[in-house]
Structure 1
């Protein structure tokens, strides 16, 4: 019996860092971020070996010692969905570069300093005047929150008012593009429900992408919002210098508001979606994962296990009734190391998470709809649970002379949606029997911003009514998602650095 102290589960930790593309399995020296897996939700974080025992004819009638012939490296993690997680793994989920608002090709910054007049950044800071940026994690309260970019922004300096000098050291402080604010009367809504510009704003320079969701208007009743009832989330269809064509709006089309005397806010940060392998945004992003096992090394030192060359094969969002929204990441990689006191360079500097507010399905889900893709008529709105499962179907390619995978092979995307729906109308049942093309959208929001989950094309199967005792009639349709004929993607995630209070 051992007298050594046991490694405590609450002292375990998991870090993640992107590997350099083209250097599969090579430990990265920077970019380490802290994940927050749930209790008992770190699974298969080990080298899963396969052995074969010799089976000779023998008078001894006993087993022979087995030999290792194969190995897999497929850890799996489940944690609460947070803004930090979306930033850390968004591109890896869909295997594509993000599209950034702001017009400089970057919407996320880690500034080195804050002066009274500006944030100092490494690159990409030449944002147009009127861009909205949101700061998080700064020690000085005055440096956190929503700011409007002033005139004269350059690559290394983003001018904003209202701050105090601060140089972050030992903690993570971030700055993200949050959208844009028009001048008085610069932005309007026409009778067709589209956004217009008076010419002072060129929408084509602001990094807006067809298929991306934007949030229209600030706090209702303020100078940053349109008339009551005109505002909320909407999907961009096309972008012209003075016109943004929208669909799937959270408001009813019919009234116009030219924005006279108002300085309207539009909130938009970045968008990720899966693309064709021939698309310029396509990229196969691998990761390194670190697992800390406390107290099992010499003299009670921690030891570290590394999952190498890992790609996100599966991504699941689970949104049950009256619960937190959970994300499950299924990785496929090249190897998992044995525990060692040796630690990869840079991992010790991983910062404490910043955007950690959770999403729940009661008070932080202001929009949830399944619509007819052709008419935008509501098909489902009374939902008690939903679960999205997205897979890149990645497998390890194995060959002679190598234990475990030599390469990772990306397969065809598959995506499904499981719903539990209260029957208040017959549209969902009809959509199933008529094979109607639908679209699913869910907006999740919290104090750190939000995310819009978009399946632009899916069809229902299995809308069988259920009749529970003393309950309401429900159905549990399964949505099979497929490539949108217009946008050419299956899953889109629009991330918001900031959303206004409702």
Structure 2
């Protein structure tokens, strides 16, 4: 007799259109390292009197489908749960599916091509010809035609999985310059590129002449304001200086941005026990708590606490059609894949650990005549976390004592793809300096309280860059 082994367990999910109703769509395999999803039935014993000292009956009075999914952070894997936790979608500057290659210099679309603008760096996706999936600079765009420069394309028909996406921008030779406060242009119009304050840029390309000659002007920076010929940047690299960009076609990469919002997103999640042909389906799952952890000597982790409607059991998968495969991006670690941690726009010192939490304060809603939940109540989006760093000077502790607002951001990247997690407005609480014993390091420990940032309208933001070069 075969018994179930955890080494044969798979998790799959599909987004619901109506809460608690599994849609007739393929499920996507979810990369996870731990899960505790379960359907918990609650019982109460009868309290009626009996002269034989025994319990007359037990009644089933309640049920709840809940649990936690733990993941090792890899690009793309947590995105559906990121959106569910944030109550907000990743918003691209421009991405259109159903694309074709109309000529050796143009992509064809049914509509929407005006989202692209001259200067955009465009990446093709899903085309049969490898060159059509390359990186190209847009020179012109209409609703149905996007014209690009560079390596010729191969004519190819449209398809539902074929898409073009804006992943950055490139200035003409000498057009982009670094100024003391950000980037300036003569010809490129930044207002046409779909950029917005709070968004992160990775400045600098991989090719010769695609970066500034001043090394400190290449790297990660955040957009503070957008105008036609100027991008005001904060959180600039240390040592940033003016550079005219003479003779260089400077590139900058950006990604899709998700911020905490109000859109309720739920999933049906199935746990497949492949060796014994058993499947458990958990419907109406919403993210109650998201936690991201960066710690020395560890793989970066994301965990999601969920609550939902109910659960079902079956002998086969509940999705329609074959499940979609999981991505294959490498997992990110805290040694080589955390590119920076910034506090208040500058370095955060020598960091030991960072955690970021988003608590949506969800609650179960019950009703007479219904087993399980009839709805999920939604509360405030409470953002917080912790920061641990070695004690080197008193600057950060002074902010804690004075109640000075700051910000926190970190970049995690592997395989040329990255996430940037930002708490744009933070107050430090629960601060202490640990020096409790001999022969030990002195450590600063702070709790973080995330607040609404007037400039971005959010308390937490996640940028996902499908490509960058610096």
* 2:348 is equivalent to residue 351 of structure 1: no
1:195 aligns with 2:188: no
1:406 maps to: 374
Root mean square deviation of aligned Cα: 3.0
Q: Shift of the alpha carbon at 1:415?
A: 1.8
Cα distance in 2, alignment partners of residues 294 and 150 from structure 1? 51
Instruction: Sort the Cα spacing of 1:262 and 1:451 in 2 relative to 1 into closer, same or farther, 3 A.
Output: same
2:393 aligned with 1:393? no
**Matched residues in 1 for 2:5 and 2:100: separation?**
36
Tell me the residue number matched to 1:279.
none
- Do the aligned partners of 1:172 and 1:352 also contact (CA within 8 Å) in 2? no
Q: Is 1:310 the equivalent of 2:285?
A: yes
Q: CA deviation at 1:121?
A: 6.8
Equivalent in the alignment of 2:84 = 92
What's the secondary structure of 1:358's corresponding residue? Answer: coil
Aligned length: 467
Q: What is the match of residue 71 of structure 1?
A: 63
The 8 Å contact of residues 122 and 168 in structure 2, kept in 1 or not, is answered as yes
1:415 matches 2:383: yes
What is the CA-CA distance between 1:92 and the residue it aligns to? 1.6
Residue 268 of structure 1, CA deviation: 0.8
Does 2:234 correspond to 1:247?
yes
After superposing the two structures, state which structure 1 stretch, 458-467 or 327-336, moved more: 458-467
CA contact (8 A) 2:366 2:375 kept: yes
CA shift, 1:186, in A, is 2.5
Q: Aligned equivalents of 2:384 and 2:351: distance in 1?
A: 16
The answer to whether 1:146 aligns with 2:135 is: yes
**1:59 maps to 2:51:** yes
Q: Which residue of 2 aligns with 1:466?
A: 435
- The 1-side partners of 2:72 and 2:128 are apart by 25
In structure 1, what is the equivalent of residue 204 of structure 2?
A: 217
Give the 3-state SS of the residue equivalent to 1:412 in structure 2.
Answer: coil
CA distance, structure 1, for counterparts of residue 102 and residue 287 of structure 2:
35
Aligned to 1:228: 215
Distance of aligned partners of 1:483 and 1:339 in 2 relative to their CA distance in 1, 3 Å threshold: same
2:192 alignment partner in structure 1: 205
* CA 319–342 in structure 1, closer or farther in 2 if over 3 Å, else same: closer
Q: Contact conserved, 1:129 with 1:149, CA < 8 A, in 2?
A: yes
Asked if 2 retains the 8 angstrom alpha-carbon contact of 1:231 and 1:251, the reply is no
In the alignment, what sits opposite 1:299?
Answer: none
Q: Indicate conservation of the 8 Å contact 1:33/1:88, yes or no.
A: no
Q: Which runs of 5+ in 1 are unaligned?
A: 276-281, 297-301
Tell me if structure 1 keeps the 8 A contact 2:113–2:141.
no
Q: Provide Cα deviations, 1:176-229, integer angstroms capped at 9, x if missing partner.
A: 4311112222222223x222121x322112111111112222249633445221
| Offset at residue 65 of structure 1 (A) | 3.4
Q: Which residue of 1 aligns with 2:268?
A: 288
Q: For each residue in 1:442-498, what CA deviation from the matched residue of structure 2 results, as whole angstroms up to 9, or x when unmatched?
A: 111111410111111222222232345433211222112222243331111111111
Describe the shift of the 1:485–1:146 C-alpha distance in structure 2 as closer, same or farther (beyond 3 A).
same
CA pair 477-145 structure 1, distance change in 2 beyond 3 A: farther
Determine which structure has the larger strand proportion and give its number: 2
Aligned partner of residue 477 in structure 1, secondary structure: strand
Match of 1:278 in 2: none
Q: How far did residue 59 of structure 1 move?
A: 2.1
Indicate the residue corresponding to 1:338 in structure 2. Answer: 313
TM-score, length-scaled by structure 2 = 0.89
Q: Quote the Cα distance in structure 1 between the aligned partners of 2:223 and 2:183.
A: 10
Q: Deviations over 1:312-348 (max 9, x none)?
A: 12111111102211110111211121243353314x2
- CA deviation after TM superposition for structure 1 residue 412, in Å: 0.6
Distance 1:407 1:72, change over 3 A: same
- The answer to whether the 8 A contact 1:217-1:226 is kept is no
| CA gap 1:381/1:93 in 2 versus in 1, 3 angstroms | same
Give the Å deviation of 1:123: 6.2
What's the CA shift for 1:30?
A: 3.2
Matched-pair contact (CA < 8 Å) for 2:385–2:447: yes
1:497 aligns with 2:470: no
* 1:6 equivalent in structure 2: 3
CA distance in 2 between counterparts of 1:415 and 1:33 reads 28
CA distance in 2, matches of 1:156, 1:292: 44
Shifted more, 282-291 versus 128-137: the winner is 128-137
**Is the contact between residue 112 and residue 168 of structure 1 (CA under 8 Å) also seen in structure 2?**
yes
Q: Distance in 1 between matches of 2:353 and 2:96?
A: 32
TM-score, normalisation: structure 1: 0.84
**Cα shift at 1:109:** 4.7
User: In structure 2, do the counterparts of structure 1 residues 424 and 144 end up closer, same or farther at CA, with 3 Å as the change threshold?
Assistant: farther
Distance 2:331 2:105 in 1: 32
